[in-house]
Every structure is written in C-alpha cells, then in structure tokens.
Amino acid sequence: MRRGLDWLVLMATVLVFGASFALLGSVIGMNSPWLMLLLMFDLLGIAKVAEPLFRLKMPGPLHSVRRCERAGNAYRRLGVPEFGKLLRRSPLRYLNAGVYLAARHGDLDEVRVRAEGSEANHFWVAVLFTPYVLYAALEHQWQVTAWFTLAQVVVNVYPILHLRHVRERLARTLARMDRRRSARR
C-alpha cells in the first residue's frame, strides 16, 4: 500500500512540475534561461520525492571520499564548513531535513544513506544541467553562462562538497563507535 502511494505522489509531482514547466514555457518562451533554471530545481525536487522508491547513486569511481578530501584542508579553504553552517542555521535546512541527526533520531547509518542519496541527486542534476551552461557559452550568452555557472556552484557543487564532508565525518564517528563497542566486549 505504501509503495503504491509513493508512486502516486511521484507521478503527481512529475505531472505538476511538467505542467508548470509547459505553462511557464508558453509565457516566457521555451528557450528562456529561466525555464532551464526551473528545470534544474524541478529535477532536484523529483529526485527527492522519488527517494522512497529508489535512490540515485554516485558513479563508482566518484563515490569514495578521497584521502585529500579527508586529510587536506581544501574544504576549509573553499569555505565548505561555513556553507554547512549556513545550511544548518537557516530555513534552507528544511529543504533536506533528512540529513540531520535530529530528523533521524540519532540513526547515523540512516543519515549517511540519506547524505549519499542527496549527494547523488545534486551530482546527476549538475551533470544534466551542464550541457545547457555549455550551450549558452557556445551561443556567446556570457551573462547566462556566468549566472548559471554561479547557480551550478551554489545549488549543486557546494552541496556535493558539503555532503561529502558530512559523509567523511559520519564515517569517522561510526568507526569510533565500532571500536568502542569492540573494546567493551
């Protein structure tokens, strides 16, 4: 019963997003950059609504958090921890509340799974959105290219970096908890 309801919600979401996309396209034109921006957000929303049914995954070679990501301070220099604070301390946290411990009642494994899924959602939306940014550049639409590159960084790249940082911290915490459990036995 629950699975059927999840499918119904997903189909309704796709229909509503598709209708809003078509209606807006008829008003502002199907080649409008604003329509492409809406499409990026629609795809993120659809991926989120689809999570009870299936989760997107990162490609195998990109899934593991690299040693330089764990050991280096590149994330600190890029301001990824500050980006995470911005997400946690603003209403933006409600866009993906499932990646917070309080929402998962302290279940670190569930938070890790949700962080991996969210990271993959942002990755695949970035992959799908990049050709439009390249097209805008090839068409010499420099303002569109610049703004959409910025949108790509803020909406997809930084969330990916933040979620990778979160996954690494969760992995360290889970390993520490496992060691403590093993030491008690």
Tell which residue, 153, 155, 160, 156, has the closest CA to residue 65: 160
Grouping H, G, I as helix, E, B as strand and the rest as coil, residue 51 is coil
Residue 159 and residue 180: Cα distance in Å, rounded?
Answer: 31
Range of the domain at 85: 55-184
pLDDT in tens, 126-185: 999 999 999 999 999 999 999 999 999 999 999 999 999 988 888 888 888 888 888 877
| Average confidence (pLDDT) over 42-51 | 94
Using the CB atoms, write b or e for 52-91: b if 16+ within 10 Å: eeeebebeeeeeeeeeebeeeeebeeeebeebbeebeeee
Whole-number pLDDT of residue 102? 63
For residue 76, tell me if it sits in a domain. yes
For residue 22, tell me if it sits in a domain. no
Q: Does residue 84 carry a pLDDT above 80?
A: yes
Q: Does residue 13 carry a pLDDT above 70?
A: yes
For residue 80, tell me if it sits in a domain. yes
For residue 29, tell me if it sits in a domain. no
For residue 26, tell me if it sits in a domain. no
For residue 15, tell me if it sits in a domain. no
C-beta separation of 37 from 132 below 8 A: no
Whole-number pLDDT of residue 94? 82
Whole-number pLDDT of residue 72? 67
Domain count, the chain: 1
Both tokens of 41, joined, read 């957000």
Alpha helix ranges (H) inside 89-141: 108-138
Q: Does residue 3 carry a pLDDT above 60?
A: yes
For residue 122, tell me if it sits in a domain. yes
What pTM does this model have?
0.87
pLDDT in tens, 86-131: 998 888 888 787 777 665 566 788 888 889 999 999 999 999 999 9
pLDDT in tens, 55-66: 999 999 999 888
Whole-number pLDDT of residue 104? 58
For residue 19, tell me if it sits in a domain. no
C-beta separation of 165 from 85 below 8 A: no
